[in-house]
């Protein structure tokens, strides 16, 4: 009976994820192509024996698992008599392959949620508590938004649930068994390794190393962690110096992604980031005083149990996550901690002063239901707003057609599948330019940073663009970022909405903002 009860929340995860994905729509629209298409084409790199070009997170586990899904799908297709290569199939229909990989990720998350619930039930014999802690992470809107996407976050969620599953015996009092178990130490290190290779934002959870007593147990965890990291990063070993430099830049500079001056952001920026984080994930902040109360009151009567050490570590982990995210804002960076929030409820249920009250679980249940309902509604509003943006792009494309324009995307949020493929190909080392050129020979885009037009294979020279503008239909640019030269006579704003811009080119003067030496060099 308990086992069947534990299946309810994992099924809810699947149902909500599928519905959110349906509401989101295509992955190439609005904001979703980043990073979905980058991970798709880097997964294709893995299948083709090529080195991934995208290593920022580093995200290698996402690419390896995505490559495995593509390889299995290709093998099944071969058994059915399909003759197209896996590269052609993916580039022809990227949306279906993103969906297939996403389905695998969602399934992994569901399994991790089930295992966590079963472990809590077996350790506490409290069915209601087990169900609530399984579901509590759904209280965060960002959690719901990111689960169905092709990105590191779903695997971070699964890794956090699995780590919590391993550590439940410690939280429930089986401390000595946990400390003495080599298998538990090794499994903890492996899960930590998977998590940190998936995305470095998992790193604060490595502090759970210190809940183990003695250097031998910690050494086993460390060996398993380092070994897992080494194995999973085999495809990107040659890029490790670049990755380290990238991460150091992020940690030591005040701007986003390692930009700006060295040092911390200004106090005003940190305050603004903190307030934004409070608005988007207030529950994370509420846990701090609750854990402090548990720590200060629980140590008086059970200081020898080892749970004090656990409370200190988990409090430091939570504060570390908040500190990292406030410096580099983005509520999705808290996803591992959100996934661990159910585990925090387990700890609180064992240490909080009112833990023995008959109202404790009902109160937590009501809070969970209310916050989950709110999260679902907020997620729906966000996704409907993305749909609205996509509809605006569709409408502006119709406007451009009325002007007789050929529409060209100029930003990766331009709701164009071809541009999404171009974006992903750039992050995959530009390996698939020939196949993409063959599949989409008419594709053209404008690079708003380097100020040039290009197809999949190469950029257009100034002479080629002059001929094209002279002999072909007018060209209109469509994207979400206002062009800096919109006021120049050469560009006429056809229409502007709150989220999208459409421009028509009347000549080549758009390159007046380019460095003239580069223009002359290009003409040669």
Please give the mean pLDDT across all residues of the chain: 84
Q: Give the separation between CA 406 and CA 400, rounded to whole angstroms.
A: 7
Helix, strand or coil, per DSSP, at residue 495: strand
- pLDDT band for position 506 (cuts 50, 70, 90): low
Please state the rounded mean pLDDT for residues 80-85: 86
Q: Which one, of 275, 164, 258, 279, lies nearest residue 211 by Cα?
A: 164
- pLDDT band for position 248 (cuts 50, 70, 90): confident
pLDDT at 3 over 50: yes
pLDDT at 57 over 70: yes
Question: Which pairs count as long-range contacts for 467-471, CB under 8 Å and 24+ apart, including other chains?
Answer: 469/505, 469/507, 469/508
pLDDT at 45: 96
Q: Beta strand 501-505 with 452-454: parallel, antiparallel or unpaired? A: unpaired
- For residue 220, whether the previous peptide bond is cis, meaning omega lies within 30 degrees of 0, is no
pLDDT at 486: 52
pLDDT at 152: 95
Please state the rounded mean pLDDT for residues 378-407: 84
Helix, strand or coil, per DSSP, at residue 492: strand
pLDDT at 305: 54
pLDDT at 521: 41
More confident residue, 520 or 235: 235
Please state the rounded mean pLDDT for residues 109-130: 91
- pLDDT band for position 514 (cuts 50, 70, 90): very low
Please state the rounded mean pLDDT for residues 160-189: 78
Please state the rounded mean pLDDT for residues 18-34: 85
- pLDDT band for position 241 (cuts 50, 70, 90): confident
Q: Which helix (H) or strand (E) holds 78?
A: helix 60-79
Cα-flanking dihedrals φ and ψ of residue 446, to 5°?
Answer: -120, 125
Whether the Cβ atoms of residue 24 and residue 32 lie closer than 8 Å to each other: yes
pLDDT at 243: 84
- The position carrying tokens 């390159």 is 511
pLDDT at 394: 85
Please state the rounded mean pLDDT for residues 2-20: 89
- Note the Cα 285 to chain centre separation in Å: 22
pLDDT at 503 over 50: yes
Q: Give the separation between CA 445 and CA 146, rounded to whole angstroms.
A: 28
Query: Quick one: DSSP state of residue 503?
Result: E
Between helices 307-327 and 267-280, what is the axis angle to 10°? Answer: 120
- The position carrying tokens 């952001």 is 265
pLDDT at 235 over 70: yes
- pLDDT band for position 299 (cuts 50, 70, 90): low
């Amino acid at each position: 009976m308990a086992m069947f009860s534990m299946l309810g929340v994992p099924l809810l995860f699947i149902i909500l994820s599928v519905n959110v994905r349906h509401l989101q729509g295509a992955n190439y629209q609005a904001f979703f192509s980043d990073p979905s298409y980058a991970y798709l084409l880097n997964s294709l790199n893995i299948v083709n024996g090529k080195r991934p070009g995208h290593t920022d997170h580093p995200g290698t586990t996402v690419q390896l698992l995505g490559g495995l899904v593509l390889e299995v799908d290709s093998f099944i297709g071969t058994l059915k008599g399909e003759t197209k290569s896996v590269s052609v199939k993916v580039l022809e229909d990227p949306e279906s392959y993103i969906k297939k990989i996403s389905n695998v990720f969602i399934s992994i998350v569901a399994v991790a949620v089930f295992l966590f619930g079963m472990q809590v039930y077996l350790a506490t014999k409290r069915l209601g508590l087990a169900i609530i802690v399984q579901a509590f992470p759904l209280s965060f809107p960002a959690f719901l938004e990111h689960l169905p996407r092709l990105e590191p976050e779903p695997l971070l969620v699964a890794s956090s649930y699995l780590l919590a599953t391993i550590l439940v015996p410690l939280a429930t009092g089986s401390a000595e068994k946990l400390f003495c178990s080599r298998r538990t130490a090794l499994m903890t290190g492996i899960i930590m390794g998977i998590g940190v290779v998936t995305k470095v934002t998992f790193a604060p959870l490595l502090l759970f190393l210190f809940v183990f007593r003695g250097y031998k147990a910690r050494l086993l965890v460390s060996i398993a962690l380092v070994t897992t990291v080494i194995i999973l990063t085999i495809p990107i070993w040659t890029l490790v110096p670049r990755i380290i430099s990238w991460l150091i830049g992020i940690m030591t500079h005040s701007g986003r992604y390692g930009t700006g001056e060295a040092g911390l952001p200004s106090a005003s920026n940190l305050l603004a980031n903190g307030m934004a984080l409070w608005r988007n994930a207030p529950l994370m902040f509420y846990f701090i005083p609750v854990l402090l109360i548990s720590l200060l009151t629980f140590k008086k009567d059970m200081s020898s149990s080892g749970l004090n050490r656990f409370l200190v570590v988990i409090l430091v982990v939570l504060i570390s996550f908040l500190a990292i995210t406030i410096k580099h804002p983005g509520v999705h960076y808290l996803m591992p901690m959100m996934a661990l929030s159910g585990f925090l409820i387990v700890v609180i249920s064992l240490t909080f002063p009112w833990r023995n009250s008959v109202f404790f679980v009902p109160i937590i249940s009501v809070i969970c239901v209310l916050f989950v309902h709110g999260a679902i509604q907020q997620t729906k509003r966000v996704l409907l707003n993305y749909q609205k943006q996509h509809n605006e792009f569709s409408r502006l494309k119709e406007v451009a057609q009325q002007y007789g324009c050929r529409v060209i995307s100029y930003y990766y949020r331009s709701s164009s599948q071809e541009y999404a493929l171009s974006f992903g190909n750039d992050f995959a080392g530009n390996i698939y330019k020939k196949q993409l050129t063959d599949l989409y020979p008419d594709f053209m885009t404008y690079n708003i940073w380097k100020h040039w037009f290009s197809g999949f294979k190469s950029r257009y020279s100034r002479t080629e663009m002059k001929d094209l503008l002279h002999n072909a239909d007018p060209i209109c640019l469509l994207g979400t970022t206002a062009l800096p030269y919109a006021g120049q006579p050469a560009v006429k704003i056809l229409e502007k909405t709150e989220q999208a811009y459409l421009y028509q080119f009347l000549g080549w003067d758009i390159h007046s903002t380019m460095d003239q030496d580069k223009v002359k060099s290009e003409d040669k």
